[in-house]
Amino acid sequence: MKAPITVSVTGAAGNIGYALLFRIASGDCFGKDQPVRLRLLEITPAMGALEGVVMELNDAAFPLLHSIDISDDAGVAFSGANQVFLVGSKPRGPGMLRSDLVRTNGPIFTGQGRAINDNAADDVRAVVVGNPCNTNAYIAMKSAPDVPAERFTAMTRLDQNRAISQLAGKLGKTAGSIGKMGIWGNHGPSMFADYFHAECDGTPVTELIGADWLKDTFLSTVSKRGKAIINARGKSSAASAASAAIDHMATWYHGTAAGEWTSMAIPSKGWYGVPEGLIFSFPVTVTDGQYSVVEGIEHSDFARAKIQATIDELAGEREAVQDLLS
């Protein structure tokens, strides 16, 4: 049996936390041979609810679950953390944009970035789920100057999964038939689900599905899916978000299969004209825990305009949080 790794999860008593923790503990994320130590963070008023979640985790008797520690102190919760899920933050309600949350949620990520900087393990890797996740990841990254910037990522895997599901449904296939479905930019209304390079069992989907459906129905359904779920459920997506967070960290940990792409929002190094430092979703491959942006993708004028729009949206969000960065 391997030595346990330490996995920290914030917002652990929330909706996503409830769906996420049991899958981490069961080995769905880091492997069926990888024991985990859970370190869970909540705000003080939610510690009682978190104790209930811990009882349930214990009652599931997961063989890989080495230990569980809970705290309302970020320094304690990130102590020795190898893998971090930053979920804890307010979700939007009906009629709100994700970017409306930036002034409420942004400050959470200055403190948690510092706490990761000061307490996490040297190999720490973090995914931000709490919205607006790209800009919150930017805040956390800037607040953790001793941690290599590329260790901070944000989650666009849910958008990728939604896009795959829409294409598979349209083609009467299952999700496993769809490949190379890259998401570019922000987990926000401007995201670009690049169907031009997506494939179904190796055939470009543009050869199988009409251009109008892809350009209009597909793009709009994927980018507005979060809002559609809030309108239907009265609460934002939780189980699918937790599943996507598992997918994101599992792929970062285990790697992509040959020929496979995934989407991760990562600090840009200027790839494809995206300004350096923006936490921007690109198609990537992953080997030995290191991601690499897929090179040489050609964009039509339409795709280029979409990418510029999402650059502009993210640059605006970054501008709006400059005062939070010291």
What is the contact surface with ligand NAD in residues (CB under 6 A)? Answer: 10-11, 13-17, 41-43, 46, 87-92, 108, 129-131, 133, 155, 158, 187, 236-238, 241
What gap in Å lies between CA 184 and CA 6, rounded to an integer?
A: 31
Site for ligand LMR in 128-147 (CB under 6 A): 131
Helix (H, G, I), strand (E, B) or coil at 117: helix
> Is residue 268 at the binding interface for ligand LMR, with CB under 6 A as the rule?
no
Q: Tell me how far, at minimum, the Cβ of 59 lies from ligand LMR, in Å.
A: 29
Residue pointed to by tokens 């309108």: 231
Kindly state whether residue 229 participates in binding ligand LMR, applying the rule CB under 6 A: yes
Closest distance to ligand NAD from the beta carbon of 43 (Å)? 5
Number of Cβ within 10 Å of residue 262's Cβ equals 26
Please count the residues of this chain forming the interface with ligand LMR, following the rule CB under 6 A.
11
Residue 53 CA to residue 176 CA, distance in Å, equals 33
Catalytic residue among 66, 187, 197, 299: 187
Residue 98 binds ligand LMR (CB under 6 A): yes
Distance (Å, rounded) from C-alpha 77 to C-alpha 7?
A: 9
127 binds, options ligand LMR, ligand NAD, none, Cβ within 5 to 8 A by partner type? none
* Contact criterion met (CB below 8 Å) for 139 and 169: no
Q: Round the CA-based radius of gyration of the chain to a whole number and report it.
A: 19
Residue 236 touching ligand LMR (CB under 6 A): yes
- Phi first, then psi, for residue 154 (nearest 5°) are -125, 160
Active site annotation includes 187:
yes
Biggest CA-to-CA distance, the chain: 55
Question: Which position has the token pair 């049996």?
Answer: 1
- The label of the residue with tokens 């990130």 reads 78
The answer to the question of residue 221 lying near ligand LMR (CB under 6 A) is no
Contact 40, 54 (CB under 8 A): yes
By beta carbon distance, the residue nearest ligand LMR is 226
The item of ligand NAD, ligand LMR, none sharing an interface with residue 267, based on CB under 5 to 8 Å by kind, is none
- Cβ proximity to ligand NAD, 186 vs 268, nearer residue: 186
CB of 103 to ligand LMR, least distance (A): 16
Residues forming the site for ligand LMR (CB under 6 A): 91-92, 98, 131, 158, 226-227, 229, 236-237, 241
Residues marked as catalytic:
187
